Structure 1
C-alpha cells in the first residue's frame, strides 16, 4: 500500500498522527553516530560546559536518593526487630523504597548527563517531597519538615532555570537527546 493510499485509508485525526510519527522517527540530517551528552548551549568563555544549576540539582537528587536508600535499610533493620502486621506489605514497602532509590539515582545521573526526560521525573519527585513536608511542618516538627522542604524547593526551582532547560534541550545545533 503506498503512502498516499495509506493516508486516505485512516480516519481524519489519524492522518495527522501518522504524519507526525513519520516525521519524528526520521533521524536528524546532521546527526553524528555518537552524540556527545555533554553538548550544551554556548556559554561565556572560561565557563564549564555544564551549568552550575545542573550540578547542584543533580547533587541534591543524588543525596535524596541516598536518603531513600538509608530509609530502606533502616526499614529492613526495624523489620528484624519487630514483627510486621503484614509481611506482604512490608516486602512491598522494601521493594518500593529500593526501587525509588535506584530510580532517583538514575534521574540524578542522567540529569548530570543532560537528558531531557529527567526534568519531569525530578519535578514529580520534588512535588511528592513537598506533599510530605508540608504536613510535617504543620504538625509542629520544623526540623524534619524543613529537611524535606528546602532541597525539594531548590531542585524544583533549578529545574526550570533557562540554563538547565537549554542544557537538557541541546539547543546549540547538537542532536537532541531523549
Structure 2
C-alpha cells in the first residue's frame, strides 16, 4: 500500500489546487485568506487607486494646456504613473491569491511610499504625510507576520503538457 506524495513545503501542488479562488487547499478544504494578507492587498490596491487618480489629474493638467518644460517628458511621467498603478494592482491581486513574489514587490512599493511620506510629513503637511506613512508602515509590519509569509508561499505552476 502506498501513500500519496507529500509536499514538504506545505504549499498546494497543482494536483491539490483547482487553480480558482484565493487561499490554499488543506485536507480537501480551501483555507481562507488571512486577515493580514487581505489588509496588505487592500493597502496596495488603495495605493494603486491613488496613483491612478494622480495620473488622471496629471493627464487633465497636461492636456488642458498647463505649461511644462518638456511635453514628452510629461507624457513619459504620465506613462510611469499608469504603469506603476497597474503594477500595484497586480501585486494586490496576486498577493491576495497567495503568490510568493508579491511579498517583495509589496515591500518595495511600501518603501517607495515611505520615501515620499517622510519628507511630506517633515515639510509641514502632517495629514498628507500620515495618510501615506500609516498604511505603508502597517503593510510593512504585516508583510513579515507568519500568516502572510505562509499564505504567500504559492509558486506558479508549470504550463500543462500536451
Please indicate the TM-score interval, normalised by the length of the shorter structure.
0.7 to 0.9
1:107 has 2:91 as partner? yes
CA distance in 2 between counterparts of 1:99 and 1:119 reads 19
SS in 1 for 2:83: helix
Higher relative contact order (CA closer than 8 Å, sequence separation 6+): 1
Aligned partner of 1:121 among 105, 123, 126: 105
> Against the structure 1 CA distance between its residues 139 and 88, is the aligned structure 2 distance closer, same or farther, given a 3 Å change threshold?
same
RMSD between aligned residues: 2.3
CA distance in 2 between counterparts of 1:156 and 1:31 reads 30
TM-score by structure 1 length? 0.72
TM-score by structure 2 length? 0.79
CA distance in 2 between counterparts of 1:139 and 1:157 reads 25
Q: Which has more helix, going by share of residues?
A: 1
CA distance in 1 between counterparts of 2:86 and 2:48 reads 7
Q: Is the 8 A contact 2:91 2:106 kept in 1?
A: yes
Q: Is the 8 A contact 1:40 1:49 kept in 2?
A: no
Structure number with larger C-alpha Rg: 1
Q: Output aligned runs, 1:1-178, within 5 Å.
A: 31-32=14-15, 36=19, 38-39=23-24, 49-79=32-62, 80-169=64-153, 176-178=154-156
Q: Is the 8 A contact 1:60 1:151 kept in 2?
A: yes
